[in-house]
Amino acid sequence: MDSPKSPSGSVRRHIRNISHPLPRRNTKGPLDAVDDPLAHQPTRIRSDATAEDAPVESQTSTPTQAKPLPLAPTRKIDLRFLQNPQTYYQLATDDIPAAFLESEHQPLPDATLPDLLAKGHFRPAAVVALRQLLQADSNNAENILPLLYTRLACLVLISKPDLAAEEALQLTDFLGRGTPSAKDLLPNVPWELRILLVRLQAIVADDGGRRAIMALYALAAEVRSHLRDTNESGDVQMAQTWSSRLRDLGFRVADAFVEMGELETATRHLESLLEVDTDEVNFRKALLRVRLGDIDGAERSMKGIASEERHDTIAALLTIANDDWHNAVNAWRSVGEKYPTSDFFQQNAAVCLMYTGRLAESREILERLAEEHDAYPALLFNLSTLYELCTERAVDRKTDLATSRAAKPATPSSGGWERSNADFKL
C-alpha cells in the first residue's frame, strides 16, 4: 500500500456518514445500447431546475408495471398531453465510466423492457419506456400511465430525480386542476405513480417540502375513505390493501418531516401513528433521537425494539454518538459477525476504522465487500474516498474499481448495474 494519509477533520466531510438499514446525460453517445427516441430532439433545460438527489423508498427495488386503483372508469381520456416529445429529456452517457459502456454485459439493442428491468439496466429501460409511451394509443391510460411510472422511477434510480420531477409536471399539473377530465383520470393512475408524483413534487416546489406534506395528508384522507367503503362492502382483501397503504403513508410523512429538518415533529408524528408495527416505530424513533443527540431518549426507544438485529444496530450507533470510535469498531464488527449476510454492518466498521486512522484495515474490508457483494453507491463512494487518503494514484485505483464493477453480471440490486462517475468520485 502507498504511504497512508491520516483522515483529518478536513476530509471527514468527504466520507459518507454511518448508514442505517432502512428500506442512480444531453446528446446520445455512440455506445448507447438502446436507441433514444429523443435523439433528434433538443434537450429541454429550465433555469429553475434543481439538482437535488431525491431517493425513493427503496433504491434497490426494481420498477414494475404498476397497477391502477380498483374500479377504474371505462371512459376514454385523451392523454396526448403526455406524449409531447418536447416534455422529456435525452439521457446522455458522458457521466458513465467507459468500462460500463464497453462492457459485455451491456444489453442488446432489441432487449425488452421487462428484461432490462430484471437485470437492472435502468437507463436503457427509461429510454425504452419513453419510446413505448410516445407510440402508445393516446386513449389507453392503462398502458401510458404505467409506462410513465417506469420512466420516472428509472430516472430516480439512475440519480436523475431532478429530470424526473420536470417530466412529471405535465401530469401533476393536469391532476391538480381538478377538472372533470382530471377526476375521471385519477382512478386510473397507479398507486405507485401517485406516491412517486408526490415525492417528485417536493423537488420542484420551493416551499421546503410543505406542499408534499399536504399532498401526503390528502392521500391519507382518500385512503381512509376507500378503507371505510371496503369495510362496509366486506371486501377483506382490498381492506388489507388500503390499510397497508395508510400505514405506509404514515411513515412517509415522518420521512418528509425528517427531510425538512423537523426531527422533533417527525418524532411526535411517529408517536401518533396507530395500528402500525411498534418495532418499526421504536426503531425509527431511536434513530431520530440519535440524530438529535438525545442519547437517553434513544436508549428508551431502544428498549421497545423486539428485533435483536435492530437493537444491536442502535447500540452500535450509540457508541458513535458518544464519540467512542474504538468501541464503535468492535460493536459493528460484533454485529457483522452475528449477521454475516448483511454487508452494511461491516461497511460501518470500516468507516469507523477510517476515523481512527486504521486505513489499511478499512481498505481491506471495503475492497472485500466490493468484490463479494453488489456494491451500492455508499460503499463505492467510501472506497473511492479511502483511495484518495491512501495513495497518490487514486484516479487509477478508482478507474480499476469501476472496471471491476462493469465486469460483473448485470443485476437490479443496489440501485442497478450501471454506475455513474460520481459513484467513484471520478
Instruction: Provide the pLDDT for residue 44.
Output: 34
Query: What is the pLDDT averaged over residues 278-295?
Result: 92
Q: How confident is the model at residue 420 (pLDDT cuts 50, 70, 90)?
A: very high
| The predicted structure's pLDDT at residue 210 | 87
The contacts of residue 393 (CB under 8 Å, 6+ apart) are 2
Q: Would you state the cell numbers that stand for residue 150, as one nine-digit string?
A: 417506469
User: Average pLDDT for residues 154-162, to the nearest whole number?
Assistant: 94
Q: Say whether pLDDT at 375 is over 70.
A: yes
Cα gap 315→169, rounded to integer Å: 43
- Determine the average pLDDT of the residues in 230-234: 90
pLDDT at position 23: 35
Q: Any idea which of 18-22, 318-322, 401-405 has the lowest mean pLDDT? A: 18-22
Residue 54: is its pLDDT beyond 50? Answer: no
Return residue ranges of the chain for CATH 1.25.40.
209-293
Q: What is the pTM of this model?
A: 0.81
φ/ψ of 12, rounded to 5, equals -60, -30
Determine the pLDDT at residue 87: 94
Percent of the chain with pLDDT over 70: 82
Q: What is the mean pLDDT of residues 32-45?
A: 38
Average pLDDT, the chain: 83
Q: 18 or 296, which is more confident? A: 296
Q: Which of 67-76, 128-137, 199-208 has the lowest mean pLDDT?
A: 67-76
Checking if the pLDDT of 24 tops 70, the result is no
pLDDT at 40 over 50: no
Q: What is the average pLDDT across 61-68?
A: 54
Name the phi and psi angles at 111, rounded to 5: -60, 140
Place 53 in a pLDDT band, splitting at 50, 70 and 90: very low
Mean pLDDT of 28-51: 35
Q: CATH fold of 209-293, please?
A: 1.25.40
| Whether pLDDT at 2 is above 80 | no
pLDDT at 98 over 70: yes
**pLDDT digits over 108-126, tens only?**
999 999 999 999 999 999 9
Which residues touch 375 (CB under 8 Å, ≥6 apart)? 369, 383, 405, 414
pLDDT band at residue 150 using 50, 70 and 90 as cut-offs: very high
User: Residues 188, 79: contact at Cβ < 8 Å?
Assistant: no
Q: Which three cell numbers stand for residue 87?
A: 416534455
* Maximum alpha-carbon separation in the chain: 71
Which residues are within 8 A (CB) of 390 and not within 5 positions of it... i.e. 6 or more apart? Answer: 1, 2, 4, 5, 359, 360, 363
Q: What is the pLDDT of residue 75?
A: 63
Predicted local confidence at residue 65, as pLDDT: 53
Q: Are 247 and 228 in contact (CB under 8 A)?
A: no
pLDDT-derived band of residue 285, with 50, 70 and 90 as boundaries? very high
